[in-house]
Amino acid sequence: MAAITTAEVKDKIVFFYRPDLTPEQRKASDNWLQDFRRHDAAWGICDELLQIDDMTVQAFAATSLQWRVKNAKPDVSVGKQLQQCILGHIVRLRNGKKAVLETLCSAFVELLQLRPNPGVVQELWSSLKSPETVTVFLLFLDVLGDRAGRVLGDLEEGAEAERADAPEISKDHPLLVTVQPNVNVVLGLLHEVWQHIVPGTQDFRSLKVPPGMEQATASVFAVFAKWLRFFEMGGADENQVASSPIVMASIPAMNRHDLCDPACDLLSEVAILATDRQSAKLLSLLEQAAAPLMEFRAASTADDDLSVVLTKALSRVCRVFCPLLNHQTFQSTKFMIHAADHPNQRVFHFTVGYWRTLRKAVSTARQADAAQIEQAVADVMAPFVPVLLKLSMFPTESDTWKPDDDDEFEFDKFRSEDLSEAVHECGQLLGEVKAVQIAFPMLTQSLQTSRWAECESVLFFIAAIRHTKTLRDELLAELFKQTAPVASQHWRVQAQYITIIGQEGDWLRCSAPHYIPGLIDFIAHCLNQQPRLQAAAIDAIGALCETCPAQVVQLYPVLQKGAASWTELNLPEAKSLMTSLGCLVCDLPEADLLKAIEGFCTPSINRIQSVGADKVAISREIKKLEALFRGADKAANRSKKDVADAIGKSWATAWGGMWPFINTMMTNGSVESDATLFEELLSLVRNAVLACGKEFLPHLESLINTIVASYQRKPQSSILWLVGTIVNVFGKKPELALPLSSVVNELVGPTLEILSKSDPGVHSDMIQELFYVMSMCVKNFPKELFASPLAVTFFNVGTACMLNTDVTRDALSEVIQYFREITDPYAAPELASSIPAFLDSRGDALLSAMLFVVVRRDLDNSDYVGDVLINLKATFPHKLMQWVHHGLASLPAEVPAAARESCLHSLNAGTQKEHAILERLHRDTPSNWR
C-alpha cells in the first residue's frame, strides 16, 4: 500500500458507510480499510482521525487502534506514546459516545497486557473525577476489572490443575501487576463516587437514587463487583466490605429493574468472598440480607424477570450457609424451597445449584455428626417433595401429542435437565426411600381418581430419583403392585411406567421375576401405540436386554410378528429397536438363532430392492441393518467365549446370505459415488465384521477384494476406517499378518498420491483414518510393518502433518496416537531392538513436530504428547533432553524464550508430570498467534 493521508482514510470510511454501495464496492472498500489497519502509518493516522468530530470516523479509528495493539504488538517506546495518546483521547472525548470510549478503554487495557502501569488509576482519576465525567472513569475501571478478572480466572483454573505452578505465574501477568496495588485505591474511590451520586446513609430496606443517577449507580455496583475478585491479591480489608454503603445498598437495589442485575453480581461476589474467607462479619451481613431478599422475592411473584434475578441472588447468598450445617443452613433451605415453588422454569433454574452445594456439604460433614445432620436436613427437606411433584406435572390436559409443540418441547427439556437434577439431589439429601414414601400417597390417590397428571408426575419423580442406589425391595414391590392398573391410564402415565420398568431390570430379574411376563406383555402392547409411547417401549426393551435378556427373549415372537409393520417408525426409534433385536435374538436357542436373524434382515433387504433409486429409503434400511448388527456385537461382548463364538457363527451364516446383495450395492457406481450412502454401507459392513468376529473369516477375502478395488477407483476415508477394523479383528492371526500388511500397502499408494497433490489439511479425514489403520498395524503385526518401507514413510508423513496448521484436531490425535504406539517400549517385545534403532536417528525431528503441536494447536493433544515423552524417556534416557532442547529451539519466535527455558528446566528436573509442563508451555504461548 502506497503512502496514505488522513484525509484519504476519512473519505474511505465515509464511502464504506454509504447506503447505495453495491456488494462488490463494499467488499473492495472493506478490504482497503483492513489493509490500512496493517500499515505502519495507521498509528499516527488513527490519532488524527480521533480528533475529527465524526462519530463514524472516531469509531473506526478507535477499533483500528485496538486491533493494532492486539495484533501488531508495539515496542516499548511506541507503547508508552500510545498509552499517553489513548489516555488523552479518553479525557478529551469524555462527553462523547460510550461505544467509542469503551473501545478506547479496551485498547488501553490491551496495552496494559503488554506492559503494566500501576499509576494509571490515579492518573485517570485526576482527570475524570468531576461529576460530569466520572462515568467515563467508571467505564475504564469496568473494562480493566473485566479483563483482569478473566486473566485471574484462567490462572486459578490452571492452579487447580497444576497445584503449585500457576499462582507464581499469576503475580507476573502485566494486567495483575497493574491491578494489585490499586485494589484498595479503587474500592476507596468508589465510595467517594458513591457519596456524590447517592448521598446519605442507606439501609437494607430502601435505596433512594437521585434522578439521572441511575446509570452511574449501576456502574458503581458493577465495578465494585468486578474489583472484589482481586480482594486477596490487593490485601483489602474485609471490614471495608462488610460496612460498605455500596454493599448495603445493593440489597434494596435488587428490587429495582434498572439496578437488579449489577446488584445481583455484587451480592454474589460478596457471598463468594464470605465463603472463601469464612468471615464472621460478611456471613452476618449476608444473614441480615437474606430476610429482606426473601421478602422482595415473595413480593415479585407476578414479575418473572425480577423473580429470576432475585432468586439468582438468593441462591448465591443461601449457598454461603450450606457448609455451616447449622440454624442458618436450615433457614436458608426453607427459603430456597419457597423460592423453588415458582411456576416459571427460569426462576427454578437458579435454585438447582443450592441443592448441589447442600448435598456436598452434608456428604463431607464430620463422621461424628453425620447421623444428626442427615436427620436434620431430611426434616427440613421433606416439604420440597410436594413442590417438585407439582412442578413436574404437565401444564396441559391434552390427550394428544404434538411433535412440533414448542411449549411441550420446553417443558420436556426442563424436566430432563433442571427438574431431574433437583429431584436427584432431593433424593440424596432426604434419602431415596423416604422421598418416595412421601410421594406414594399422591400416587395411590391419583390412581384411584384417574388424575393422570398427578400419577405421571409421581412416576417421573421415582424414575428421576433412581440414579445411584436401589430402593428397598418392599418399596419397589409396592410400586409395581400399585401401578398394575396403569394399562387403563393416560398414555403419558404408561410411558413413564415403562421408563421405570426399564430402569428396574436388575431388581425384577433378581427379586420379582414373577412380574416380568405381565410387564413384557404391557411393553408389547405399547409398541403399537402412538409415537411417544412406542419410543418409551423401545427404550425399555433396550435397557432390559442389558439387565435381564433371558426373560425379555419372551418378547421375540411379538417382535417377529410386528417387525414387518414397523416401517413407519421414526428412524431413531427404528434403529434403537433394531439394536435391541440384534441383542435379543442372541439369547434364543442356537437352533432358532439363524432363522430369527434372517427374519429381521429380510424385510430391510426386500425394502431396498423394492425402492429402486430412492436413496433416502435405501439409507434408512441400511442404518436399520447396521443397528441390528451393532446389537449382536453388544450381545457377543457380554457373553462367554464359547457362546460368543456360536453367536458369531450364526450371524456370519446370515451375512453369507446377504453378502452377494451387499457386494452388488458396494460396486454400484451410483452408490459408490454418493459418499454419504457409501459410508453408511461400509458402516454396516464394519458392524457385521464386529458382530461375527473371527467367524467372518470365510467372507474376508471377498470383502477385501471389493474394498481394495473400490479404493483404487475412488479413495474414500470410510474404506480406511473399515480396513482398520478388519486389521484389529484379524491382525493377531499369524497367517493373516502378511496378507493384511499387503492390503495396507495397496491402500497407502493412492492415499499418499492424493496427499502429495494438495495441502494435507484438505484431506484431514483421510489422514485420520490412515493413521488409525497404522495404529492397528502396530498393535497387531508390528514386525511386518517395520520390515517394510511403510514405517519410514509414515514417520515422515506424520511429522509433516503435525507441522501443518490446517490438519484438524481429530486427525492430529490419530497421528500422535500412532507415535504413542510406536514409542511404547512394552507394546511389541519382539521388536525390542529394531524400534529403538529406528527412532534413534529421528528423535529430534519427532520432538520438534510434537512441541510445535503443543504450542500452535489446541490443548487436547498435550496429553498424548506427554505420553510420547514418557515412552521416549524410558527408551532413550540419555538422549531425550538433547532432543527436547533441539525441539524447543526450533519453535517459532512467537514462543517466549522464558516459556522455553521453563519447559526445558522442568522436564530436566523431573519433579513435575510431563503433561502439566506441556500444558504450561501451551498457556505461556500468546493465544493470538495460535
pLDDT for 671: 86
pLDDT for 563: 59
185-189, 214-218, 222-226, 757-761: least confident range: 757-761
Measured CA to CA in angstroms, residue 792 lies from 273, 775, 782 at distances of 58, 14, 13
Inter-axis angle of helices 531-547 and 516-526, nearest 10 = 140
Q: What is the pLDDT of residues 740-754, one digit of tens each?
A: 988 998 898 899 888
Which of 512-526, 547-561, 798-812, 817-831 tops mean pLDDT? 798-812
pLDDT for 704: 94
What are 58's three cell numbers? 472516531
| pLDDT surpassing 80 at residue 930 | no
Average pLDDT over residues 70-94: 77
Where is pLDDT greater, at 422 or 289?
422
Q: To the nearest 5 percent, what fractions of the chain are helix, strand and coil?
A: 80, 0, 20
Confidence of residue 162 (pLDDT cuts 50, 70, 90): very low
Inter-axis angle of helices 734-757 and 717-730, nearest 10 = 160
Dihedral, CA of residue 477, residue 480, residue 485 and residue 489, to nearest 10: 150
Residue 371 identity: A
pLDDT averaged over the chain?
Answer: 83
pLDDT for 689: 93
What are 232's three cell numbers? 486477596
Which residue shows C-alpha cell 471389493?
A: 706
* Residues 876, 190: Cα–Cα separation, whole Å: 60
* Residues 815, 689: Cα–Cα separation, whole Å: 25
pLDDT for 163: 41
| pLDDT surpassing 60 at residue 894 | yes
- Pick the closest to residue 594 from 651, 661, 547, 675 (CA basis): 651
- The per-residue DSSP string of 648-714 comes to HHHHHHHHHHHHHHHHHHHT-HHHHH-HHHHHHHHHHHHHHHHHHGGGGGGGHHHHHHHHHHHHHHS
| pLDDT surpassing 80 at residue 85 | yes
394-408, 503-517, 584-598, 741-755: least confident range: 394-408
* Residues 483, 480: Cα–Cα separation, whole Å: 5
Which residue shows C-alpha cell 526445558?
A: 904
Judge whether 129 and 87 are in contact, CB under 8 Å: no
Confidence of residue 771 (pLDDT cuts 50, 70, 90): very high
Where is pLDDT greater, at 766 or 72?
766
Judge whether 266 and 247 are in contact, CB under 8 Å: yes
Average pLDDT over residues 550-578: 73
- Pick the closest to residue 127 from 169, 89, 83, 91 (CA basis): 91
Q: What is the pLDDT of residues 698-719, one digit of tens each?
A: 999 999 999 999 999 989 999 9
pLDDT for 388: 94
Q: How many helices (H) and strands (E) does the chain have?
A: 53, 0
101-105, 559-563, 574-578, 709-713: least confident range: 559-563
Judge whether 166 and 189 are in contact, CB under 8 Å: no
Residue 698 identity: P
| pLDDT surpassing 80 at residue 170 | no
pLDDT for 711: 93
Confidence of residue 529 (pLDDT cuts 50, 70, 90): confident
Q: What is the pLDDT of residues 388-438, one digit of tens each?
A: 999 999 876 555 555 556 677 788 889 889 999 999 999 989 888 889 889
* Residues 90, 102: Cα–Cα separation, whole Å: 9
pLDDT for 166: 40
pLDDT over 90, % of the chain: 18
Q: What is the pLDDT of residues 870-884, one digit of tens each?
A: 889 888 988 889 999
Q: Which DSSP category does 472 fall into?
A: P
47-61, 154-168, 237-251: least confident range: 154-168
pLDDT for 697: 92
List of long-range contacts for 389-392, beta carbons under 8 Å, 24+ apart:
389/439, 389/442, 389/454, 389/457, 389/458, 389/461, 390/341, 390/457, 391/340, 391/341, 391/343, 391/348, 391/419, 392/419, 392/423, 392/457, 392/460, 392/461
List of long-range contacts for 719-723, beta carbons under 8 Å, 24+ apart:
719/682, 719/747, 720/747, 720/751, 720/766, 720/769, 720/770, 720/772, 720/773, 721/682, 721/686, 721/769, 721/772, 722/682, 722/685, 722/686, 722/689, 723/747, 723/773
Judge whether 250 and 213 are in contact, CB under 8 Å: no
Task: Say how far residue 604 (Cα) sits from the centre of its chain.
Answer: 37
Average pLDDT over residues 433-452: 87
What are 576's three cell numbers? 434403537
Q: What is the pLDDT of residues 292-302, one digit of tens each?
A: 766 766 666 56
pLDDT for 487: 64
Question: How many Cα atoms sit within 13 Å of 112 on the Cβ side?
Answer: 26
* Residues 724, 744: Cα–Cα separation, whole Å: 9
pLDDT for 469: 54
- Pick the closest to residue 390 from 457, 482, 318 (CA basis): 457
106-110, 135-139, 364-368: least confident range: 364-368
The H or E element that residue 413 is part of is helix 406-414
Average pLDDT over residues 28-41: 86
- Pick the closest to residue 340 from 332, 361, 406 (CA basis): 332
The burial class, CB within 10 Å (0-12 / 13-18 / 19+), for 895 is: buried
Average pLDDT over residues 552-569: 68
* Residues 253, 225: Cα–Cα separation, whole Å: 14
Confidence of residue 218 (pLDDT cuts 50, 70, 90): very high
Confidence of residue 368 (pLDDT cuts 50, 70, 90): low
pLDDT for 77: 66
Task: Say how far residue 905 (Cα) sits from the centre of its chain.
Answer: 34
- Burial pattern 165-191, b for ≥16 Cβ within 10 A else e, equals bbeebbeebbbbbbbbebbbebbebbe
What are 176's three cell numbers? 495483575
Average pLDDT over residues 659-665: 91
Average pLDDT over residues 856-869: 75
Q: Where are the alpha helices (DSSP H) in 341-405?
A: 345-349, 352-363, 370-381, 384-391
pLDDT for 706: 94
What are 69's three cell numbers? 495493539
Task: Say how far residue 269 (Cα) sits from the centre of its chain.
Answer: 25
| pLDDT surpassing 50 at residue 164 | no
- Pick the closest to residue 625 from 664, 667, 574, 584 (CA basis): 574
| pLDDT surpassing 60 at residue 168 | no
pLDDT for 684: 95
- Pick the closest to residue 244 from 260, 265, 266, 261 (CA basis): 266
Which residue shows C-alpha cell 440424596?
A: 428
pLDDT for 677: 92
- Burial pattern 904-919, b for ≥16 Cβ within 10 A else e, equals bebbeeeeeebbbbbb
Task: Say how far residue 328 (Cα) sits from the centre of its chain.
Answer: 35
Average pLDDT over residues 124-144: 87
For 705, other C-beta atoms within 10 Å of its C-beta total: 12
What are 537's three cell numbers? 417401549
Q: Where are the alpha helices (DSSP H) in 758-833?
A: 764-780, 782-786, 790-802, 809-823
The burial class, CB within 10 Å (0-12 / 13-18 / 19+), for 818 is: buried
What are 487's three cell numbers? 394399562
Cα separation of the two ends of the chain: 27
* Residues 882, 681: Cα–Cα separation, whole Å: 49
Average pLDDT over residues 505-511: 85
Q: What is the largest CA-CA distance in the chain?
A: 93
* Residues 128, 124: Cα–Cα separation, whole Å: 6
pLDDT for 701: 92
* Residues 119, 115: Cα–Cα separation, whole Å: 12
Average pLDDT over residues 358-370: 79
* Residues 715, 712: Cα–Cα separation, whole Å: 6
199-203, 620-624, 919-923: least confident range: 199-203
pLDDT for 396: 65
* Residues 854, 890: Cα–Cα separation, whole Å: 13
Where is pLDDT greater, at 802 or 132?
802
